[in-house]
């Protein structure tokens, strides 16, 4: 599994004209085996244990590259730091969106209603690209509110 995604990533990098480097491999390995929504610093620290020679700057630069190739999604949950997760294309089974607790910052991945969502998106996309001649590449849907625990706590 790890070998598989590593191979895929290597090809993906080459396809986009990027070199395959230890930092890039390490970050891809980490993200492809992690479910969490990690910040650049999270990633830096985890990798630092294994490869103390990879700097934070390189982590930022690598993430930029991985987002550019589409392998990684950059997420923004409103605390002022980007978060990253291995990308699941739309239409794929793992495509999901997020519930964000505004109290404790918990993030819930949900995959429910994705079919309905995709239907709406297609319709919207078609309408909007015609009306505004806008070419949609990407979308965000996010719900903000209170998670179960915080709802109880706050009352």
Partner DNA sequence: ATTGTAAATGAAAATCATTTTCAATAATCA
Partner DNA sequence: TGATTATTGAAAATGATTTTCATTTACAAT
- Closer Cβ to Zn ion, 104 or 141, answer by number: 104
CB 50 within 8 A of CB 101: no
What is the sign of the dihedral through the CA atoms of 26, 27, 29 and 35? positive
- The answer to the question of residue 145 lying near DNA (CB under 7 A) is no
| Window 86-145: residues binding Zn ion (CB under 5 A) | 101, 103-104, 106
* Among 34-42, 119-127, 135-143, 147-155, the segment contacting DNA (CB under 7 A): 34-42
Instruction: Select from 36-44, 86-94, 120-128, 132-140 the region that touches DNA (CB under 7 A).
Output: 36-44
Of 49-57, 85-93, 124-132, 145-153, the window that binds DNA (rule: CB under 7 A) is 49-57
Please report whether residue 32 would count as binding DNA according to CB under 7 A: no
148 interacts with, out of a second copy, Zn ion, Mn ion, none, CB within 5 to 8 A per kind:
a second copy
Closest by CA to 64, choosing from 40, 94, 32, is 40
Applying CB under 5 A, the residues found at the interface with Mn ion are 85, 109
Question: Which of Zn ion, Mn ion, a second copy, none binds 109 (CB below 5-8 Å, type-dependent)?
Answer: Mn ion
Q: Does residue 64 belong to the site contacting DNA (CB under 7 A)?
A: yes
Give the β-pairing of 83-86 and 72-75.
Answer: antiparallel
Q: Is there a contact between 30 and 43 (Cβ–Cβ < 8 Å)?
A: yes
* Contact partner, 19, from Mn ion, DNA, Zn ion, none, Cβ < 5-8 Å per class: DNA
CA atoms within 13 A on the CB side of 12: 18
**Read out DSSP for 34-101?**
--S-EEHHHHHHHHHHH-TT--HHHHHHHHHHHHHHTSEEEE--SSSS-EEEE---TTSTT--EEEEE
Binding residues for Zn ion (CB under 5 A):
101, 103-104, 106, 147, 150
């Amino acid at each position: 599994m790890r070998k598989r995604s590593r191979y895929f990533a290597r090809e993906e990098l080459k396809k986009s004209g990027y070199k395959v480097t230890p930092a890039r491999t390490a970050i891809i390995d980490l993200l492809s085996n992690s479910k969490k929504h990690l910040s650049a610093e999270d990633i830096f620290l985890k990798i630092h244990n294994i490869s103390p020679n990879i700097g934070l700057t390189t982590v930022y630069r690598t993430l930029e590259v991985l987002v550019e190739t589409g392998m990684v999604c950059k997420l923004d949950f409103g605390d002022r730091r980007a978060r990253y997760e291995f990308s699941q294309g739309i239409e794929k089974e793992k495509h999901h969106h997020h519930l964000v607790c505004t109290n404790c910052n918990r993030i819930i991945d949900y995959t429910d209603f994705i079919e309905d969502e995709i239907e709406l998106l297609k319709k919207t996309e078609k309408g909007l690209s015609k009306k505004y001649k806008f070419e949609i590449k990407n979308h965000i849907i996010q719900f903000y509110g209170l998670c179960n625990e915080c709802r109880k706590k706050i009352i």
